[in-house]
């Protein structure tokens, strides 16, 4: 909230995607009077929800290479190896995915220690579902039909829990 204050905003629109959606939910719960509108994309209200529908989506696209890469999640310590793991599993998130075009345009700096630490320390204890019903700002929830981690079911849970929110599912 220090950034909002430093910029001189009384309220602002908060947008969060995936893990950023976790942060956006926590911010809106802690500082509801400062959020005029909330946009949550491909996120969910808890890491303990399980993921049976995600497993079904993965089963349609799984390859031996993807299986091997998934087995490395949370354990990779080399930056270049983490980058290759990420490139390998990215198609799981999309209806159609052009891996060569993404790789050619990618300017991301990959840090294996950061993602491994986050997977072990930030995601396991996460949960906002009991508090989402207190949110009163205009809220848009967006989800991708083929996102295997933050599935449509999870977007629907967020939408049903936040009063008056609108839900949009992107088919492709």
Tens of pLDDT, residue by residue over 84-95, are 998 898 888 888
pTM attached to this predicted model = 0.84
pLDDT tens string 41-97: 999 887 766 677 888 888 888 899 999 998 888 788 899 999 999 889 888 888 887
Residue that wins the pLDDT comparison between 73 and 39: 39
Q: Is 101 exposed, middle or buried (0-12, 13-18, 19+ CB in 10 A)?
A: exposed
Instruction: Indicate if the alpha-carbon torsion angle 100, 105, 169, 148 is positive or negative.
Output: positive
- Asked if residues 99 and 63 have their Cβ atoms less than 8 Å apart, the reply is no
Which residue's structure tokens are 């019903």?
133
pLDDT tens string 123-133: 666 788 899 99
Name the average pLDDT for the chain.
88
Percentage of the chain surpassing pLDDT 70?
95
pLDDT band, very low/low/confident/very high, at 168 (cuts 50, 70, 90): very high
- At 30 the pLDDT is 96
- At 165 the pLDDT is 97
User: Does residue 136 register a pLDDT over 70?
Assistant: yes
Strand order in the sheet with 12-17: 12-17, 35-41, 138-144, 166-170
């Amino acid at each position: 909230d220090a950034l909002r204050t430093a910029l001189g905003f009384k309220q602002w629109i908060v947008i969060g995607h995936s893990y950023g959606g976790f942060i956006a939910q926590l911010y809106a719960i802690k500082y509801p009077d400062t959020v005029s509108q909330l946009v949550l994309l491909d996120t969910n209200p808890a890491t303990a929800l399980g993921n049976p529908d995600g497993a079904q989506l993965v089963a349609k696209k799984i390859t031996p290479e993807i299986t091997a890469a998934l087995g490395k999640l949370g354990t990779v310590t080399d930056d270049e190896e983490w980058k290759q793991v990420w490139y390998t599993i990215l198609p799981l998130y999309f209806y159609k995915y052009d891996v060569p075009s993404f790789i050619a345009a990618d300017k991301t700096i990959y840090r294996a220690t950061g993602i491994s630490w986050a997977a072990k320390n930030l995601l396991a204890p996460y949960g906002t579902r009991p508090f989402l019903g207190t949110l009163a700002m205009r809220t848009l929830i967006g989800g991708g039909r083929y996102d295997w981690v933050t599935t449509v079911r999870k977007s629907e849970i967020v939408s049903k829990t936040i009063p008056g929110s609108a839900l949009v599912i992107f088919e492709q």
